A = this chain, B = another copy of it.
Amino acid sequence: MILSGKPVAEHITAKASERIEELKAKGIMPKLAVIRVGARPDDLAYERGIIKRFEMAGCDYEVFEIPEDCTQEDLDRCIDARNADEKVSGILLFRPLPKHLSGNYVRDAIDSDKDIDAMGLFNQASLFAGISKAYAPCTAQAVMEILHYYNIDLTGKRAVVVGRSLVIGKPVSLMLIGENATVTVCHTKTKDLAGELKAADIIVASAGVAKMITSDMVSPGQVIIDVGMNTDENGNLCGDVDYEGVSGIVDSITPVPGGVGAVTTSVLLKNTVEGAFRINHDKL
């Protein structure tokens, strides 16, 4: 079974649209502020996906472009203005930032109610503490949305997460633990990755290495969520999993492209709408 991201994204988008109507009836419109420093091609591609998604859902957005050679103060001022703007319900700052800017410094600058990609300490700690109102990083949340949409039972299942990053590996692991999976976190220092993977019920691949999970490392019956966004030897987009070799063995797998990546912008939308409920709770 191919776990396509498209129906998941459509489902989340439809639900978000309903909530937008609910807000509009009370004179409120959610709005995403995208803050982009410079014009990296990756950021521009993500931005196009966001715009498409938000237009589809009828949700406001605005892109704030800051020159690549801006000062820390320019960036801080841009974030502060979006925090202060009552119309803005979600703020997304593209990263990585140019090297002369401090990511740590701005990390907690975003109002936690508008921090829809969980950059800040408040949302990260809430995630750690298992507080349900925490925003999770959008890609990590997209993994969970796919598992939920396809009714993949997690309780007591052995989930192996490959990668321990702050934006995917760690938050996904915590969310899987929160949903009663037995979770193993693997990484570059793991000795027998193939052994760990073979014994899994569910694999979340977020290593960032093209096609590193091959047919000899998986087992029948498994569910694989491939978070990888890599380029293969022919310059084509591919995941961390060797899809051709693996998809015939396992039970279900997300394609790349068209899997997790297709869901991320709908999570951004969902969280931007949620942000509007939070910052307007006195009016609702």
Q: Which residues of A contact B (CB under 8 A)?
A: 121-122, 124-130, 155-156, 158, 164, 166, 170, 173-174, 177, 180-187, 189-191, 196
Q: For A130, A155, A166, A189, which residue has the most chain B Cβ atoms within 10 angstroms?
A: A189
A128 to B128, CA, bound (A): 7
B177 adjacent to A182 (CB under 8 Å): no
- How far does the Cβ of A35 sit from chain B's closest Cβ, in whole Å? 21
Chain B residue at minimal CB-CB distance from A166: B129
B164 adjacent to A177 (CB under 8 Å): yes
Chain B residues, CB < 8 A from A181: 189
Residue among B125, B127, B156, B164 making CB contact with A189, cutoff 8 Å: B156
A155 adjacent to B189 (CB under 8 Å): yes
A166 adjacent to B121 (CB under 8 Å): no
Q: Is the interface of A mostly helix, strand, loop or mixed?
A: mixed
Chain B residues, CB < 8 A from A124: 125, 128-129
Residue among B155, B182, B189 making CB contact with A182, cutoff 8 Å: B189
A156 to B173, CA, bound (A): 18
A-B contact pairs, 20 of them (CB 8 A): A121-B122, A121-B126, A122-B125, A124-B125, A124-B129, A127-B128, A128-B166, A128-B174, A129-B166, A156-B189, A156-B191, A177-B185, A180-B187, A181-B189, A182-B184, A182-B186, A182-B189, A182-B196, A183-B184, A183-B185
A128 adjacent to B130 (CB under 8 Å): no
Chain B residue at minimal CB-CB distance from A173: B185
A121-B125, A129-B166, A174-B170 are contacts. A189–B180 as well, Cβ < 8 Å? yes
A182 adjacent to B180 (CB under 8 Å): no
Chain B residues, CB < 8 A from A121: 121-122, 125-126, 129
Residue among B170, B177, B184 making CB contact with A128, cutoff 8 Å: B170
